Every structure is written in structure tokens, then in C-alpha cells.
Amino acid sequence: MKLAIIDTGCANLASLKFALDRLGQKSIITHDLKELSQADKLLLPGVGTAAKAMSNLRVLNLENFIQTTTKPLLGICLGMQILGEFSEELHQKTLGIVSFETQKFQEKVNFTFPHMGWNQVFSSHELFKGLNGAYFYFVHSYCVSLNEYTIAECEYSIKFSASVNKDNFYGVQFHPERSGEAGEVLLKNFINM
């Protein structure tokens, strides 16, 4: 199994690679199209703003590759958000693979933002096999509303999509590489699906 972590130039890629290493899974971090096209599965992590991520993807000539790949791809945090059509963050058009928009959390009494820390996720999807009700680690100020592609949900001031899926594209709002055993199980599930 060849796993490739797409180097978007704006993510903490090493922690994801270390998480895969702990699972005994070899992976490479690359933005080389030849290496990416030879991988069996792709991971698209992201930290920072949607605008910076999209700019980097264009500069690295990765936008079209990601939009047209038929390989299983897992977007993580910002990597999930940019699978959608638009992000309110700096009013950024995103990859347009899955029909959703990323919105800023609404201010609410007794809630602080960003949503940071451990929260419970509910799903019956195979990506979450053995994980319904498990806790994962989140850090985000923007979220994706529940929609037809939602396969897992979480609640923080509102219910939102903790995970989405359309065809070969999967996304998780949380950080599996920072979510201990639950995160490792989720990464294994993605690899084994």
C-alpha cells in the first residue's frame, strides 16, 4: 500500500507521517505529480487559511490533480474544508469537489472560538467502524453545516459535519494524528477500506 501525504506547503505534515509510521504504514510527503499518481491512497492535510492553501495548490499545479483523482483521498481539517465549493474565510472559492460551503461558527454565549479540544463524534459509516461516540481532537473556527454528504456529526454551539464523503473523497474536520487511539483506528479504517 503506497500512501502519499499531499504537501500543500501549509500544514504540519510531519505529525501525520509519524502517526502513519506508528501504524507501520510507509508514507511519503510530496507535491510531485508522478509520485502522487503512483500512490494507492492520498491524504490532504491542512492548517491555516483556505486562501493560502488554494494559492499553494495552484502554484504547485495540484488543483486539477486533486479535483480529478479517482484514488481514495482523505482531507484533514482545512483539507476537508477545501474539498467544498467556498469558504467564508477571506471569501475563498475552494476545490468544488463536494457541494458544501465552509462557514464561520456563529458566536454563542458560553462558547469560545476556535473550537479547540476533544469532542464526541457520532457516525455509523465504515470510516468510523468501532468509533461511534469516540472523542477526537479539533482546532477550527470555521465549520461545515450538516448536509447530504455528512457521514459523521459533532456539536459545539451548533451541530456540524465532523466528516463528509462523496465518491472517493472523504474529509474529517478533526485531527486524527492528534486524536490518540481513536485517530489511529480511523486512519487504519481509511487504509483498509
171 has pLDDT over 80: yes
Residue 26 corresponds to which amino acid?
K
Q: Are 48 and 78 in contact (CB under 8 A)?
A: yes
143 flagged as catalytic: no
pLDDT at residue number 9:
82
Name the pLDDT band for 137 (thresholds 50, 70, 90). very high
- The catalytic residue among 10, 77, 143, 154 is 77
Mean predicted lDDT score pLDDT of the chain = 96
177 flagged as catalytic: yes
pLDDT tens digits, residue range 23-81? Answer: 999 999 999 999 999 999 999 998 889 999 999 999 999 999 999 999 999 999 999 99
Quote the strand ranges of 21-94, DSSP E.
27-30, 41-46, 73-77, 86-87, 92-93
- Domains of the chain (ranges plus CATH)? 3-192 (3.40.50.880)
11 has pLDDT over 90: no
- The catalytic residue among 89, 140, 143, 177 is 177
| C-alpha of 159 from chain center | 18
Residue 37 corresponds to which amino acid?
S
10 has pLDDT over 90: no
Output Rg (C-alpha) for the chain, integer angstroms: 15
Q: Are 58 and 29 in contact (CB under 8 A)?
A: no
Q: Are 39 and 4 in contact (CB under 8 A)?
A: yes
Return d(Cα 174, Cα 116) in angstroms, integer: 10
31 flagged as catalytic: no
**What percent of the chain has pLDDT above 70?**
99
Using a 10 angstrom Cβ sphere, with 0-12 exposed, 13-18 middle and 19 or more buried, the burial of residue 28 is middle
Mean pLDDT is lowest, of 46-50, 89-93, 99-103, 144-148, for 46-50
Residue count of the chain, please give it. 193
pLDDT at residue number 8:
87
**What percent of the chain has pLDDT above 90?**
94
Of 36, 54, 49, the closest CA to residue 77 belongs to 49
86 has pLDDT over 90: yes
- Rounded to an integer, the average pLDDT of 148-177 is 98
Of 162, 187, 58, 5, the closest CA to residue 67 belongs to 58
pLDDT at residue number 47:
86
> Looking at the DSSP assignment, which residues form a beta bridge with residue 116?
139
